[in-house]
Amino acid sequence: MAVSLWRTTTCILKRSVSLASVRYGHGPPSKQVDIHKGKVLSDEVGLPDSLGHSVGIERYELLANQAGDDDPFEMKVVKRAKGTFEEPTIIKSVNNKRMIGCICEEDALTINWMYVHKGEPKRCECGYWFKLEELHPKTYE
C-alpha cells in the first residue's frame, strides 16, 4: 500500500514539474502582444474596395468596366452578317479556336454548336459561314 501511494505521489509531482518547465520554457509570460501591430497605417484606414480585394480574371473584368468596356471577353451575341463564303460573319477570339452557337431559324428552340478555327471558314448546317479572326488582348490599368 505504501509503495502504490509513493508511486502515485511521484507521478503527480513529475507531471506538475514537467508542465511548469514547458509552460515557462522561454521565461515567464510577458504582457499581451499586439498581433495587428504594423499592419494598419492609421486609424483612418478602412477596408479596401472590391477592386482592392480582386485578383486575376475578376480584377481584369472590373478594370475593363471602369474603362468603359462592358464586354472585355467578347461574349455578347454577334448578329449574323451576310453569311456567304466571300463575306462570312466575323468572330473574334484570342485563342486559335472558339466554340460558337448558331440559332439557324428565328423561332428555333435549339442551338447548333460548332468549333471555328483560325484561318478556316466554317459553314453551319443552315448555310451561314463564320470566320475566326485574331483579337489582340487589351490591357487595363
- Residue 32 vs residues 26, 37, 38, 41, 122: alpha-carbon distances, Å: 15, 12, 16, 21, 71
User: Looking at residues 92-96, what average pLDDT do you find?
Assistant: 93
Domains, in order of start, for the chain: 48-75 (no CATH), 89-134 (2.60.11.10)
pLDDT at residue 21 tops 60? no
Quote the pLDDT of residue 50: 80
Q: Per residue in 107-139, pLDDT tens? A: 999 999 999 999 999 999 999 999 999 998 888
Residues at the annotated binding site?
Answer: 102, 104, 124, 126
Residue 130 pLDDT: 97
Residue pLDDT, tens place only, 27-72? 555 566 565 555 555 666 677 778 878 888 999 999 999 999 999 9
Query: Where is the binding site for Zn(2+), in residues?
Result: 102, 104, 124, 126
3-state secondary structure of 12: helix
Question: Roughly how many angstroms between the first and final C-alpha of the chain, as a whole number?
Answer: 82
pLDDT of residue 47: 72
